[in-house]
Every structure is written in structure tokens, then in C-alpha cells.
Structure 1
Amino acid sequence: ISFTCSFDNVDIKNLLLGYYFVILAKKESFHSLIHKIFNILDGTTQSIYLSSESGNNTSTPKPQTSPTPNNTSKPSNTTSKNAGTLEDPIKLGDTYSWSAREKYIDTYASADYSFTVKNVKPITLDDVESLGIRYGSNAVHFDFVMITAEVKVSNGKIESGEEFMYLPFARDIWGSKTSTGMSIIGGTDYGFEGSLMDNCRATVEDSNGFIKKLKAGEVCEFSYSGNIILPLTKDAENYLVIRKDGSLDYYDSFAYFRLK
């Protein structure tokens, strides 16, 4: 299925985003379709879409020699003083913190967040496909890295109703962007062993394996870490881009993280 759609209705965007995370909760591979609808493309953006052969694939990639330079920077493990913009991205290993209140389907969700890129290592397309992830034919034009990230959510609240605990607070991996503004929309943080979103979901499961629910008036906090497969523009400095706050203007809603 392939189509192009653009719209400015924020309520429709939030409704689709809600369906997107419900699909993730059910481990169904519908990610690329929603990603096409939800993201806004510009003239410097390339899209890379994926499918997962198996949501239960437990193989682990074996990093091989890659055109992507090895990361030789030692993570700093400090609170970031950078703005998190394209012009002032977060240093590798620094923790970036922010607060957000966003529309989520038919309620509002608010929380304090922190996000840290802990490690980055190059992997090959063969490594990616060994996990059961299949990218389109244009994937041969990109490099790939495996990112280990840590996310913390505190003071998490919804203002009405009830929701699965992690869904209103999940941050979207938008893709990668170079220091000169070239973009690749895409990235995989679910559907393979050790993935960021699979670990997030496991963090908020009860003893019977069901995802806990959060009701209005309750407060939650949780933290998790896991891996992200990210495509990169070749021969350029690339940043990881996440959607930090959907309530902001589009270009202000992202945070940028150095990968070396």
C-alpha cells in the first residue's frame, strides 16, 4: 500500500498517533503506513520504510566492518548544557531533560522526560536483516548504526479517562539528519530483541504480562533502555532526531543528539 497524504488538522494527527501506538502495543507491523501519514516531508528528506518478518525474532546482530566510522568518543554521562537543536545538538552520553504537555487522543498527557544516547556502533544491512527487519531497495544507499538509549519518564499524568501506562509518554524516533539538513525519516525501535520500545513495554507489564493502565489522577514514573536501528546519510555527520513534544511548532518539536 502506498499513498501520499498531507493535512493540518492537529486532532486527526493525534488520533492517528494514538492508533499508531495501539498498533505497537499489539505488536502488529503497520509502522510504515502510519509513518507515511504522520510525517511531513520537505525537499531535503528521504524516507526509508521497513517491515518486520517476525515480532519475536530473538537473533542478535554481529557487527561487521562498515563504511560508518567507529565511534571513538567516550560518553560524558552528564546533564546536557546544549539546546538540543540542529545547530546545538546534545553531546554523546549527555542526558537531555524537558517537560511536555500534549494532546493524546481525547485527553492530555504531561510528564518530565530525559533521554540519553549511551552507545553507538556501526552495523551492516545484513546485520539489520538478520533481525528480521526488511528495508526497501533504497537501503543500500545508507549506512546503519545500532544506538543504545536510556529514557526516563517521571510525574506522568493524564487528565481524563485511562490509558495503557506507557503509550501517552512514548517518544517517536523520527530518523536522522545531517549537520547540513539532509534527512532520512526512518528508524526501528521495536520488534527485535533488546529494542527500546519492546523494553519500554516490558517495564510497565504486571506479573501476568499485561500492560498496566494509568487513570486520571494517578501519577506514574518508569525508566528503560534499549536499542534503535538508525539509517544514516553516507559521508556526513548525522544526528539522531526524536520527537520530544508534539505540542510545539513542528520544527521546534524535535531534539537532536550527536552520534560521535
Structure 2
Amino acid sequence: MKSKKLLVVFSVIALLAVGVSTGVYAAGVAKKISAYQNPGIKVVVDGNTLNLSNHTGSLDPIVYNGNSYVPAKAVAEAMGGAVTWDPASSSVIITTGAASQDNSFPTDNGSSTTPTPATPAPTTPAPTTPAPTTPAPTKPTPSTPSKPSSNKGTMKDPIGLGASFTYTDIRRHDSLGDVSIQYTFAIKKVEPISLDAIESLGFVKPEKNDKREFVMLTVDLKVNNATLLKQGTGGDYPYLTLSTPYIWGVETTSDNYIVGGREFGFEGSLDSNIDKVLDDPFTKLHIGDSKSYSVTGKVLLPIVKGEENLLVLQREDDTLDYDESFIYFKLK
């Protein structure tokens, strides 16, 4: 039953190929349209034709009102970027390795003005005093290792709070290549977070919703033997920082769910701490060698209000059955 429900959601959002808000708070936002899916349209990036499909099936371009819409995830990844869905602001976030900008949401809702250049007035140099030295940033301190869980990580037998679960995943991508990673993941702490506190992180303040609230997770992640199995057609090599578990979202014991989570874009986030623990945040994976690291960081997560929620990670190994790709963790 769950598989059918999810397929309905993915059929609506196939243009973006990332998780978005579900029936929990989508009412009044989504608009039904009539469009045509055209498998004859190809997307070519740097001379390479993209494979527009994932574990849900074909993501052929859609033609609507004379415009063609293609999957953001496939196109961004082909250009060396990554795509995630941010439920706090209903935004598709595209991150590229070449960008130097802060990926947090602007607090002015994107509105800005360009200042008029001013002619500098002549000034008399003032005596200078030595600037105080700023201590170099320290790497995040690893937390106490979590006890391995004996639970299976299924909906009926989820991983307990504070316990770790180890699994191996394989991420296949035509352009970036095939990567095998062993993850050990644990939720150490779950804390409620207010809308004002989310805004203070640098995001646009989420709207109030009587069916949704937010929590901040503290998680432990250990990446073991991240290995490039096959080089992609793009000619480049994937970054080690992209080898992280896919946070699908949350599901409740009453079968409600919200797709998405935010593990980057704010200080102390899992993604920012990964950059700090690595000697080189731009480390790439090459054929024949393997990389490992351990980190503790934060994940901002929307949950269904008043219900028992489970965090859901999803394996990206496309050889797995869809329902078998999910791993469940307790939040209490």
C-alpha cells in the first residue's frame, strides 16, 4: 500500500525528481495541470546524453504550455552539483562545487537592491593598531561511539534512539560514476526547534502549520570505505563529501509522511561539519583507493505534529526493491 501512495506523489513531482511536501501540508499549494510526457526529448550536457530515470522509473521530459520541463536532479548532478528539497521553504536547492555562495536561504525572501557606487572621499590615514588574532577553527569533536543496534531497521522494527545501524549502499550515476559506501548512522539527540530559531539559522521563517512542526537532530555518521567502482562518462571524479546517506524524510505509524530534511546550509549542520573534519573538503574519489571519516552534525527535520514519527533513510542502490530501500529510526 505504501508503495502505491508514494508513486502517486512521485508522479506529481517527477519534473524535479526530489522529495517535496506530501498530503500533510500540500493542500492549497499544488495545482493540477494537463501535460504530455515526451520520451523523444533528450537532454545533453557537455556532449553526453543524460539517463533521465531513477528507482521510480522513467523521468522523461514533460511538455506544458509550450515549455519543456526536465528533472533538476539529473541535470544538476551531470554538471557536478547536487539537488535537495527543503521543506521549510518549499524550495529545490541546487548546490554546485564551483559556487562560493552561502546556500542558506536569504532572510529578505530574495529581494535585494544594487547599491550605487559612491566616490570615496579623501581620508587622512589614522594610526593603525595590530588586529587581534582569530584562533583557527577547530574540528568538531567526535561523540562517544553508539552501540550497534540489533534491530532490522524496518517500519515494524526500527533502530532505537542512540543506537547505530550499519549498511552498504551503491550510488550509480552515468556521469559521476558508481560509488560504494558503508554507512554507520545513529541519532544521538532529538530537540524541538521553534520557527523563530529556524529563522535565526539564516532561513526564511516557515509558515505556521497545525499539522507540521520541526525538530533538530544530532546525528553520528561514519563513512567507511567510500570507493569509486566505475568512473563516469563525464570524465571527472565524484567528491567524497557527496558520499552521504539520503535523508528521505519521516513517516508516522499511522502512515502519514513528509518528504525531505535539511542537513546543510547552517552552522553545525552535518554537511558543514563534514567539510571541517576532512583535511581537504574537495577530496575526490579515484579508482583503486577508498576513503573513510567520522562526523557528528545537525539535521533540521519537519515532522507530523502529534504523531509518532520515524526518520527514514533511503538506500540509493537501484537493484533493491523500492519498499526494501527504506531504513527507519526512532525519534523517541
TM-score (norm 1): 0.72
Verify the 8 A CA contact 1:20 1:31 in the aligned structure 2: no
Tell me the SS of whatever aligns to 2:258. Answer: strand
Displacement after TM superposition at 1:249 (Å): 2.5
The percent identity for this pair of structures is 32
Counterparts in 2 of 1:135 and 1:19: CA distance versus 1, 3 Å: farther
Is 1:176 the counterpart of 2:250 in the alignment? yes
Is 1:148 the counterpart of 2:218 in the alignment? yes
Counterparts in 2 of 1:165 and 1:137: CA distance versus 1, 3 Å: same
Larger RCO, structures 1/2 (Cα 8 Å, 6+ apart):
1
Displacement after TM superposition at 1:20 (Å): 9.4
Displacement after TM superposition at 1:251 (Å): 2.3
Verify the 8 A CA contact 1:166 1:200 in the aligned structure 2: yes
Amino acid at match of 1:224: V
Deviations 1:166-222 (Å, cap 9, x if unpaired)?
21x22122211111211011221111110011112333342xxx5112211111111
Distance 1:145 1:152 in 2: 22
1:87 aligned residue: 156
State how many pairs are aligned: 216
Deviations 1:223-244 (Å, cap 9, x if unpaired)?
1110011111111101111223
Amino acid at match of 1:253: S
Amino acid at match of 1:100: D
Distance 2:225 2:146 in 1: 23
Range with greater deviation from structure 2 (112-121 or 128-137): 128-137
TM-score (norm 2): 0.57
Verify the 8 A CA contact 2:153 2:159 in the aligned structure 1: yes
Question: Structure 2: which 5+ residue stretches go unaligned?
Answer: 1-10, 16-51, 60-70, 84-88, 95-102, 108-143
Distance 1:79 1:21 in 2: 34
1:228 aligned residue: 299
Verify the 8 A CA contact 1:120 1:147 in the aligned structure 2: yes
1:6 to 5, 14, 34: 14
Distance 2:182 2:192 in 1: 31
Deviations 1:111-166 (Å, cap 9, x if unpaired)?
21110101111111111111122365364531211100011111111122522122
Counterparts in 2 of 1:31 and 1:112: CA distance versus 1, 3 Å: farther
Verify the 8 A CA contact 2:181 2:225 in the aligned structure 1: yes
Distance 2:174 2:92 in 1: 19
Which structure dedicates a bigger proportion of its chain to helix? 1
Verify the 8 A CA contact 1:196 1:225 in the aligned structure 2: yes
Is 1:18 the counterpart of 2:90 in the alignment? no
Is 1:166 the counterpart of 2:241 in the alignment? yes
Correspondence 1:77-156 to 2 at 5 A: 77-106=146-175, 107-134=177-204, 136-137=206-207, 139=209, 141-156=211-226
Displacement after TM superposition at 1:31 (Å): 8.8
1:218 aligned residue: 289
1:253 to 296, 321, 325: 325
Amino acid at match of 2:296: S
Tell me the SS of whatever aligns to 1:184. Answer: strand
Task: Say which one has the larger Rg.
Answer: 2
1:53 to 106, 114, 126: 106
Verify the 8 A CA contact 2:160 2:330 in the aligned structure 1: yes
Displacement after TM superposition at 1:51 (Å): 6.7
2:65 aligned residue: none
Distance 1:237 1:164 in 2: 36
Deviations 1:34-57 (Å, cap 9, x if unpaired)?
69xxxxxxxxxxxxxx97127xxx
Verify the 8 A CA contact 2:104 2:265 in the aligned structure 1: no
Question: Structure 1: which 5+ residue stretches go unaligned?
Answer: 25-29, 36-49, 55-74
Correspondence 1:33-72 to 2 at 5 A: 33=92, 52-53=105-106
Amino acid at match of 1:237: E
Distance 2:268 2:255 in 1: 30
1:203 to 250, 272, 277: 277
Amino acid at match of 1:226: G
2:126 aligned residue: none
